[in-house]
Structure formats: structure tokens, C-alpha cells
Amino acid sequence: MQPVFGFALFAVFVALIVVLARNKKRFPANPISSFFFGFIIVLLAIGAANYFMVAISANRLYFWQQTIYGVSLGSVYALIALGYTMVYGIVRLINFAHGEIYMIGAYAGFFGVTSLGFPFYFALIFAMLTAALAGVIVERIAYKPLRKAPRLAVLITAIGMSLLLQNVGQKIFGSIPRSFPRQFTGLYRIGEINLDQSRVIVFAVTFLLMVALQYFVTFTKPGKAMRAVSQDRDAAQMVGVNVDRTISLTFFVGSLLAGAAGILVAIVFPQIRPTMGLMPGLKAFVAAVIGGIGIIPGAVLGGLIIGVSENLVTAYISSSWRDAIAFGLLILILLVKPSGILGRNTREKV
């Protein structure tokens, strides 16, 4: 009887997803509503997967454990993806050096804890500020002189800056991985699900940072200036917005979040190396594209999708597929909806 019940509820959840997808146009066309729409779809998909597990008599407890761990990992991808999407939204630049800013944040946190003796939360702030400073320096040196250059030149510069920072990191820090000191070793129990304290801290910090970012972009004067520049740079400049300062502020905020992601990952996976930003940076870029690049809620949604998918594939198929799933989802989204889940198709004049 239980498998029949599971298949029935699985069919109900799938039907709800189909109905919502067909009626998406009835929802308000703004980023916040689109984010909640996408979040509801993700929840329904998780519910469908849960009852599919019931139908095939699989271990649901293990499924939910892996899903929660995936949300924790996905929230870190979302932090990095926010930097990509903010910079692209304003200057139409894919900052491939952003993964290395994440690496700088991890090393800053490491030296803050080991050499300076900071407690974790002071080390977190130190890592964020160090990464933000590095992001602004990169923008000033590599991108500002190319503000009016062709996009291809800027793209090549971004790739070159990424490789440069990796090699400088190897020269300064050495190529041997360093072990990040254990900060949180506690365990929380919710029902029958065990949660590592470190993963709870990661999710809590990322959630607070995302809320703070949304408030900053929506209600503060610099945030409104960023939105104005993203919509029309020339018009924003005409009404008194300092475009260069706003672009630098965007790099500062995006790098701030990447620095936080670097130290948060280090407390869960306590090993850091100069090349650690390469794959998370690419996955965060994929997350931004999947959610809709240039859209802040889209970056969050894309990060969560990548994190949950990666964890479930590792748990149920093979760890060798954990990197492939992100790029498989990217290809699927580009085939079905090239603008991303929350993106809107726009016509470009040529």
C-alpha cells in the first residue's frame, strides 16, 4: 500500500509543478515574485522526490539529510554567484577572477584565525574586508582602463587575471594545501536528522548576508544608484550618479560576499589551496546563468539548485558526477530557457 500511496503523491506534486509552470505569466513580473515562484517549484520538486523515495521504498531520512547538506552547500554557491550577477548586471562583464577572490577570502580567514588569533566571527569580517579590497584593486587595475573596450578584450583580461591570481597565490602561499583549524564540532538533532554545527553556521550566515544585500540594494541610496546604473548607465550619469564609484562599489560588495563564502567553505571542508577557487567559481557562474544572470534572486535560486543537485548525485549515483551535474543542468536550461529560470527574454537591437 505504501508504494501506491507514494506514487500517488508523487503524481500530485508533479501535476502541481506542471500547473504552476503553465500559469507562470499570471504571477507579477518582478524579481522577488519570480524568486518565490522558483523557490516554490524547488520545494515541490523536493517533495516529489521525497514521495518517489517512498514509492520505491528508499531511505527517506538519508534523502532529507543529503538535501539539507545540499542547501548548505548551495547557499555558499549563491554567495559567490551574487558577485557574478551583480557585476554582470551593471557592467555586462563576466568576472572570471571572482573565484580567486573567494580563495583570497579563505586564506585571509585562515591567517586571521592562526596568525592573528581572531575568533571565527572576527576572522569572517577580516576575510570579507580583505577579499573586498582585493576585488576593488582588480577592478581598478584590470577592468577600469577597459571600460570602453570591446567585450572580448575585457573577457580575455578577466581570464588572464584569474590565472595571474592563481599563480601569485601559489607563489605566496605555496602549492601545498593548508588545513583550516576546526571551529565548530557540535551536532544538532532535529527529529532523526543530524546536522553539523558548521553547516548550520554556514546557512545562517549566508541567509543573513543575503537579507542584508537585498535591503542594501532595495532601500539604500548606493543600492538605488547601482540599480539605476544597471538599467541605463548614461541616464544615471545625467541625473548625478557617479558611475565609476558605483561600479567600484559593486565590485566591493560582490567581493565581500565571495570572501565570506571562502571562509565559510573552509569551516566545512577544512583544506584550502591557491587553486580552490577554480571549480566553485565556475559552478557559481553556472548558478548565476541558471537562475538568470544579472538577477539577484536568480543567483540565489541557481546556487541552491546546484548545491542540492550536486549532493544528491553524489549520494545516489557517484561522486565522480558531482561536477558534471552542474554543467549538465546548464546545458539543459540553455536549451529550454536561455535567459535562465527567472530571466526574461529581451530583444536586442543590432
pLDDT grade for 350, boundaries at 50, 70 and 90? very low
Range of the domain at 220: 59-336
The whole-number pLDDT of residue 317 equals: 83
Domain total for the chain?
2
The answer to whether 73 and 279 are in contact (CB under 8 A) is no
Quickly list H helices, the chain: 2-22, 31-55, 60-91, 98-114, 120-138, 151-173, 197-219, 221-231, 233-238, 243-268, 278-291, 296-316, 324-336
List, for residues 307-328, the tens digit of each pLDDT value: 988 988 888 888 888 888 888 9
Per-chain mean pLDDT for the chain: 84
4, 138: one domain: no
The whole-number pLDDT of residue 345 equals: 59
Residues 6+ apart with CB under 8 A from 160: 142
The whole-number pLDDT of residue 168 equals: 92
The whole-number pLDDT of residue 92 equals: 82
The whole-number pLDDT of residue 1 equals: 46
Residue 136 has pLDDT above 90, yes or no: yes
Integer Cα distance of 302 and 85 in angstroms? 11
pLDDT grade for 27, boundaries at 50, 70 and 90? low
The answer to whether 82 and 148 are in contact (CB under 8 A) is no
98, 167: one domain: yes
Domain assignment present for 288:
yes
231: CATH: 1.10.3470
Integer Cα distance of 154 and 151 in angstroms? 5
List, for residues 220-269, the tens digit of each pLDDT value: 899 889 888 888 888 888 888 888 899 999 999 999 999 999 999 998 88
186, 263: one domain: yes
The whole-number pLDDT of residue 28 equals: 65
